[in-house]
Amino acid sequence: MKTIFIINEANGAKNLGDDAMFEVITEALEENDYRIVTSSINGGTDNRFEQVIPVSISISKIPLPSFLVKLVELFRYFLSEILVTTRIGIIRKLALADPQVRHYYNFIDQVDAVVFSGTGSMNSKYSLSGVYRRGIITNLAFEKKKSIVIVGNGVGPLSHINKLVAKRYIHKIDLIFVRDRVKSKSELLSINYDSKKIFERIDDAFYLKSSEEDDNYAKKYLFRLNGNKFIVINLHNWNKFISHSLIEMVTKFALNHSDYSFLLIPNQILSSSLDDRVILGKLKKTMENYKLKVFLVEDNITPGQAKSLIRSAVMTISTRYHIGVFSLSVGVPTILIYLDGGYYYQKMLGILDWYDLSSFAVSFRDQINFIKMCKSLLDDIDNIRKKIDVTNSNFENQGYEPKYRITNIIEI
């Protein structure tokens, strides 16, 4: 029986998207009778897995200016290059002095394959976890002759220096399953990755199943809504300028559609500074001042609970990519608001492109187009729902579901 090391460094961070991908991939592996070892921010134990190890110490947790963090991470990456290319004892000890390198180096011996699941796409926005750290772990696994696979990721946009780093190790990865057809494959080809090893598949979170318990949780909010048609809203708790703009544009939309109720769904994430309930609380207060019917989910919800809540909605509006994934997977149209023209824009287009609905991605700066877009969607909602249902049926029939392809991933 093979042991698979699933690396999802957001595991334990209460991030709906990464939690959903992690749940889907682990269930697929368990169904195929593999032992699973995984990492978690909180460490601890989980009876489903052979072992749960704490995420290793990272320089990114130390409060340094961002350019210094990147310089240190870059240095750490090239230390790992030395680690896997030299047999000079003193240099090896120097490289292993890094706690993260040492942590994974000592652990990878025990497994047959390493699978990166989500947790920091390979892009310039989150290059510490997605480009540099992944390079370190890839080099360690390659040295020990382990299979290496990336699942459920986007790739890019990549800066020039990120491409230089990625080129040094990307060829050591056996397979990469990317979640979009918009940009990821071309980014991989630009760093000379073998096109035969690239597979474009919809985000693994699409396949997350809600349980009966999830549905029962959703019923208590549906009861409060009293049978009213409702729209789900999710917003990032970002900087003051962006947050103000998001609240203003969503409130204007809600005032134009006051016959609906509004259900605000948060994504917490471990840090309180990234807790969506902060901005959603402000949005709720603003909407209530206008006598709108609005409810805030204040609980720490799971991906399955979020999906069950969304299933009964008319539509969703979100700045979080995975709320859009959940929404489309249950046949509910979505409008996705991107916060930059690079990483977020690519993610939003990435999921909407599968449904030929790319026109429903909009910048947080473009309030006028956002209002028009919402009206256009609601005016044509029946046809859009049918379009989404057809696409979902195609996914279910194409054999892309992780449980059908997981054996091919591992036994490469």
Specify whether 406 is located in the same domain as 257. Answer: no
State whether 217 and 202 are in the same domain: no
Q: Are residues 165 and 220 in the same domain?
A: no
Q: Would you say residue 327 lies in a domain? A: yes
The mean pLDDT of 205-214, rounded to a whole number, is 94
* Neighbouring-strand partners of residue 363: 338
225 and 371 in a common domain: yes
Which residue bears the tokens 């990492």? Answer: 39
Are residues 274 and 171 part of one domain? no
Q: What's the domain count of the chain?
A: 2
How many CA atoms are closer than 13 Å to the CA of 299, on its beta-carbon side?
12
Pick the closest to residue 172 from 205, 144, 213, 202 (CA basis): 144
Task: Return the pLDDT at 62.
Answer: 47
Q: What is the pTM of this model?
A: 0.91
Q: Report if residue 30 sits inside a domain.
A: yes
Q: Say whether pLDDT at 133 is over 90.
A: no
The one-letter amino acid at 347? K
Q: Give, in order, the Cα–Cα distances in Å from 327 to each of 3, 321, 333, 341.
A: 34, 10, 7, 23
Is the model's pLDDT at 218 over the cut of 70?
yes
Predicted pLDDT of residue 271: 62
DSSP for 260-291, written as a single string: SEEEE-----SSGGG-THHHHHHHHHHHHHTT
Q: Are residues 151 and 246 in the same domain?
A: no
pLDDT at 101 over 80: no
Mean pLDDT within 124-128: 79
CATH number, domain containing residue 244: 3.40.50.2000
Alpha-carbon distance of 326 to 353, in angstroms, equals: 15
Let me know if residue 103 belongs to a domain.
Answer: yes
Residue 38, domain member (yes or no): yes
| Cα distances (Å, whole numbers) of residue 225 to 32, 53, 138, 154 | 41, 42, 49, 36
Same-domain pairing of 186 and 49: yes
| pLDDT score, position 119 | 63
Burial 388-406 (b: 16+ CB within 10 A, else e): beebbeebeeeebbbbebb
Cβ atoms of 197 and 281 within 8 Å: the answer is no
pLDDT digits (tens, 9 = 90+) for 343-359: 999 999 999 999 999 99
What would the mean pLDDT of 37-64 be, rounded to a whole number?
65
Are both 279 and 364 inside the same structural domain? yes
For residue 397, what are the contacts with CB-CB under 8 A and spacing of at least 6?
none
β-pairing, 51-54 vs 113-117, is unpaired
Query: Which carries the bigger pLDDT value, residue 296 or residue 139?
Result: 296
Beta strands in 272-410 (DSSP E): 294-296, 316-318, 334-338, 361-363
The answer to whether residues 131 and 253 belong to one domain is no
Can you give the pLDDT at residue 96? 63
Query: Tokens standing for 172?
Result: 């050591």
What range defines the domain where residue 9 resides? Answer: 3-207+399-410
> Is residue 39 included in any domain, yes or no?
yes
Residues 301 and 349 in one domain: yes
Quickly tell me which residue has 């939690």 as its tokens. 19
- Crossing angle of helices 240-256 and 277-289, rounded to 10°: 40
CA distance 16 to 13: 9
Give me the percent of the chain exceeding a pLDDT of 70: 84
Task: Please give the C-alpha separations between residue 232 and each of 15, 16, 96, 221, in angstroms, as whole numbers.
Answer: 18, 15, 48, 12
Q: Is residue 384 part of a domain?
A: no
In a domain, 390, yes or no: no
For residues 68 and 124, membership in a common domain is answered with yes
User: Can the peptide bond before residue 266 be classed as cis, meaning omega within 30 degrees of 0?
Assistant: no
Query: What are phi and psi for residue 176, nearest 5 degrees?
Result: -130, 120
The string of pLDDT tens digits covering residues 294-338 is 999 998 899 999 999 999 999 999 999 999 999 999 999 999 999
> If pLDDT is split at 50, 70 and 90, which confidence band does 57 have?
very low
391 located within any domain: no
One domain for residues 319 and 258: yes
Tokens for 72, please give them.
Answer: 């240190």
